[in-house]
């Protein structure tokens, strides 16, 4: 055969392959989600997320220092609220001495350069396990947005670098930006969960925080996974309303959406490689059916290739170790 183009020339050795590799993962691509619980010296494994832990604040602070030393630069905080503090309005979310606020302060104190992002949503604090206030069986938008704006200011007061609203209420980005401006928090950013789908892949996360919805599902606020143009509508609106970073969630079943969003916006795009995606790889690896290390790097590379500038993943530490 005489060919004019031989594509295998560029694949013939590891050195050549690395010269022409289009997508390279680095530690600063990752956002590390952390689950914080009350108490001391607690490091409890989440049953549906093997080798991932809920940690008390003292243990979390040590963990954050270790993450920073490894080159990881961003954490995303979730807290597990005690049952007795939950109510319909998420009152505890606004407590200036609440676990979230104490965690932000302690982490920024111990590791000031670490970028601290905070989850803004009512579900961990809601007696109904919903991301909004419930009235007559409905998740009401506008009263919820008021609480989310107050919650964001409270996180900013405690020292959060970015607030990350994960609720999917309408108009929350402009409400949060306005509230931050009015209170002088002009340097606090917003990472918006812009295209967040109603997904079964959040199951293990709801175990981690004991935050599963008590009735119904989240389909009246999270998006229908059949939809594509709606993701662009949601994301472009969030950018207009003041989102500094937008997010697509989950990641691997939504790579097409990540790419379209990346091509449509002029802000950084993040993707959340969610708990169920983590659990699937873990389970297959445990059975001996997949090589976990290879599955981690291939998954995360595909998410970055799709267009994610940042990836929130429970595999961040493993990935950094594997990238060596």
Considering the complex, state which of residue 148 and residue 158 has its C-beta at the smaller distance from ligand PBG.
148
Residue 131 engages ligand PBG in binding (rule: CB under 6 A):
yes
Of the listed pieces 146-154, 200-208, 288-296, 301-309, which binds ligand PBG according to CB under 6 A? 200-208
Annotated active-site residue in 196, 282, 304, 317: 196
Q: How far is the CB of 4 from ligand PBG (least distance, A)?
A: 48
Q: How far is the CB of 41 from ligand PBG (least distance, A)?
A: 25
Residue in 259, 266, 273 with CA at minimum distance from that of residue 244: 266
CA–CA separation, 43 vs 51, rounded Å? 10
Residue 191 engages ligand PBG in binding (rule: CB under 6 A):
no
DSSP 282-301: HHHHHTTSS-HHHHHHHHHH
Residue 205 engages ligand PBG in binding (rule: CB under 6 A):
yes
CA–CA separation, 78 vs 83, rounded Å? 15
282 is catalytic: no
240 burial type by CB count under 10 A (0-12 exposed, 13-18 middle, 19+ buried)? exposed
Of the listed pieces 10-18, 138-146, 202-210, 225-233, which binds ligand PBG according to CB under 6 A? 202-210
Contact set for ligand PBG, span 261-320 (CB under 6 A): 274-275
Considering the complex, state which of residue 183 and residue 292 has its C-beta at the smaller distance from ligand PBG.
292
Residue in 172, 187, 179, 189 with CA at minimum distance from that of residue 237: 172
CA distances from 252 to 122, 280, 301, 303 (A): 26, 11, 11, 7
Contact in structure between 262 and 308 (CB atoms under 8 Å):
yes
Residue 238 engages ligand PBG in binding (rule: CB under 6 A):
no
Query: Cα–chain-centroid distance for residue 266?
Result: 20
Classified as helix, coil or strand, 316 is helix
Considering the complex, state which of residue 14 and residue 215 has its C-beta at the smaller distance from ligand PBG.
215
CA–CA separation, 120 vs 218, rounded Å? 16
286 is catalytic: no
Answer for which of 166, 194, 299, 301 binds ligand PBG (CB under 6 A) is 166
Q: How far is the CB of 278 from ligand PBG (least distance, A)?
A: 7
**Which residues participate in catalysis according to the annotation?**
196, 249
Residues that bind ligand PBG (CB under 6 A): 119, 121, 123, 131, 166-167, 202, 205-206, 218, 274-275
């Amino acid at each position: 055969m005489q060919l004019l183009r031989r594509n295998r020339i560029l694949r013939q050795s590891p050195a050549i392959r690395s010269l022409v590799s289009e997508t390279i993962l680095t530690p600063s691509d990752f956002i590390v989600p952390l689950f914080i619980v009350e108490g001391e010296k607690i490091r409890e494994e989440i049953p549906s997320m093997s080798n991932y832990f809920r940690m008390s604040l003292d243990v979390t602070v040590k963990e954050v220092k270790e993450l920073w030393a490894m080159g990881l630069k961003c954490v995303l905080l979730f807290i597990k609220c005690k049952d007795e503090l939950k109510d319909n309005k998420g009152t505890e979310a606004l407590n200036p001495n609440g676990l979230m606020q104490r965690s932000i302060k302690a982490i920024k104190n111990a590791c000031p350069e670490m970028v601290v992002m905070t989850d803004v949503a009512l579900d961990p604090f809601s007696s109904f396990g919903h991301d909004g206030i419930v009235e007559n069986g409905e998740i009401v938008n506008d009263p919820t947005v008021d609480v989310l704006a107050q919650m964001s200011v409270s996180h900013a007061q405690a020292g959060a670098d970015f607030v990350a609203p994960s609720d999917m209420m309408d108009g929350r980005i402009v409400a949060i930006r306005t509230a931050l401006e009015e209170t002088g928090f002009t340097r606090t950013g917003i990472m918006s969960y812009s295209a967040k789908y109603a997904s079964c892949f959040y199951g293990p996360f709801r175990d981690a925080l004991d935050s599963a919805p008590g009735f119904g599902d989240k389909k009246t606020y999270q998006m229908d996974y059949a939809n594509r143009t709606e993701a662009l509508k949601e994301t472009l609106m969030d950018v207009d309303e003041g989102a500094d970073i937008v997010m697509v969630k989950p990641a691997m079943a939504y790579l097409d959406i990540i790419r379209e969003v990346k091509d449509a916006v002029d802000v950084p795009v993040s993707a959340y490689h969610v708990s169920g995606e983590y659990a699937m790889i873990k389970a297959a690896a445990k059975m001996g059916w997949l090589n976990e290390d290879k599955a981690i790097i291939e998954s995360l590379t595909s998410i970055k290739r799709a267009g994610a500038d940042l990836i929130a993943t429970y595999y961040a530490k493993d990935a950094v170790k594997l990238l060596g």
